[in-house]
């Protein structure tokens, strides 16, 4: 899976080099066996971005793209959009992506991170909880789950965060020197450290849906989608796959 992620990243025109940062010798060996770069990092990092910072300190680059290793379906065009958004917004320190939520189960799952943005596309908050919460609909039907079943249009209220970050390298190295923040620890979401320190995250719409692999069921879905592509199909992510 991680080799597939590397190949997707390298397919983005703005990406000139891809390096897998890991603390696992098995991953290191698998990536190098496939002919790609990998380096060992500390096992003590609090988050993936902290691990990224250790790797970035050894690499010369103004912009550093962090594609999480559990995003094998990420579109190269999504990476391009995020890079372009950061370059176009001098007041943003980080750029990331979001996409539509296609099922009520994703809204209710704590494994699926939701993001709320302002009118300029800047992140207001990220959460594992359903945000923004449709209070009146939930009250009307007795629960959010019931509301989503009866009024499926409510799904459009939510945006799912895609596992991608684009950093200005100088900011990333500064970020890694900060201790974990209270909200970051509570939600187990590293991007909240950025917001809690008052910095901006620009959010772009993903070019196509992705599937973050957090569970065995996610892995099964991704394998089926990739096998479909190899058989000549389309990597369309849809509910029920």
**What is the predicted pLDDT for the residue at 239?**
31
Q: What is the CATH number of domain 65-230?
A: 3.90.550.10
Q: Identify whether 71 is preceded by a cis peptide bond (ω within 30 of 0).
A: no
**What is the predicted pLDDT for the residue at 231?**
56
Are 234 and 155 contacting, i.e. CB atoms less than 8 angstroms apart?
Answer: no
Backbone angles phi, psi at 95, to 5 degrees: -125, 150
Backbone angles phi, psi at 201, to 5 degrees: -120, 120
Percent of the chain that is helix, strand, coil (3-state, to 5)? 40, 20, 40
**What is the predicted pLDDT for the residue at 236?**
42
**What is the predicted pLDDT for the residue at 240?**
27
**What is the predicted pLDDT for the residue at 213?**
82
Divide the 241 residues of the chain into consecutive groups of 10 and give the mean pLDDT of each group: 91 94 95 95 92 92 91 91 96 97 95 96 98 97 98 97 94 96 97 98 93 82 75 42 23
**What is the predicted pLDDT for the residue at 221?**
83
- Tell me the H-state helices in the chain: 2-10, 25-33, 48-56, 76-88, 104-108, 135-141, 144-150, 169-175, 182-187, 191-196, 216-230
What's the pTM? 0.86
């Amino acid at each position: 899976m991680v080799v597939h992620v590397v190949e997707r990243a390298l397919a983005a025109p703005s990406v000139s080099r891809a390096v897998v940062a890991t603390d696992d010798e098995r991953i290191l060996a698998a990536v190098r066996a496939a002919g790609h770069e990998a380096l060992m990092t500390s096992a003590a990092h609090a988050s993936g971005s902290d691990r990224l910072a250790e790797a970035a300190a050894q690499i010369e680059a103004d912009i550093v793209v962090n594609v999480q290793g559990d995003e094998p379906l990420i579109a190269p065009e999504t990476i391009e959009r995020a890079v372009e958004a950061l370059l176009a917004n001098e007041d943003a320190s980080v750029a990331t992506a979001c996409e539509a939520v296609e099922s009520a189960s994703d809204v209710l799952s704590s494994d699926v991170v939701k993001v709320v943005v302002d009118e300029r596309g800047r992140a207001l908050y990220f959460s594992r909880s359903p945000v923004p919460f449709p209070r009146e609909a939930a009250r009307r039907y007795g629960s959010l789950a019931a509301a989503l079943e009866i009024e499926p249009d409510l799904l459009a209220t939510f945006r799912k965060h895609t596992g991608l970050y684009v950093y200005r390298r100088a900011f990333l190295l500064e970020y890694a020197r900060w201790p974990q923040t209270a909200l970051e620890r509570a939600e187990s979401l590293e991007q909240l450290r950025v917001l809690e320190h008052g910095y901006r995250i620009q959010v772009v719409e993903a070019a196509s849906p992705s599937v973050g692999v957090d569970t065995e069921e996610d892995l099964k879905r991704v394998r089926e989608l990739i096998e479909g592509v190899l058989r000549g199909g389309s990597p369309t992510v849809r509910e029920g796959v």
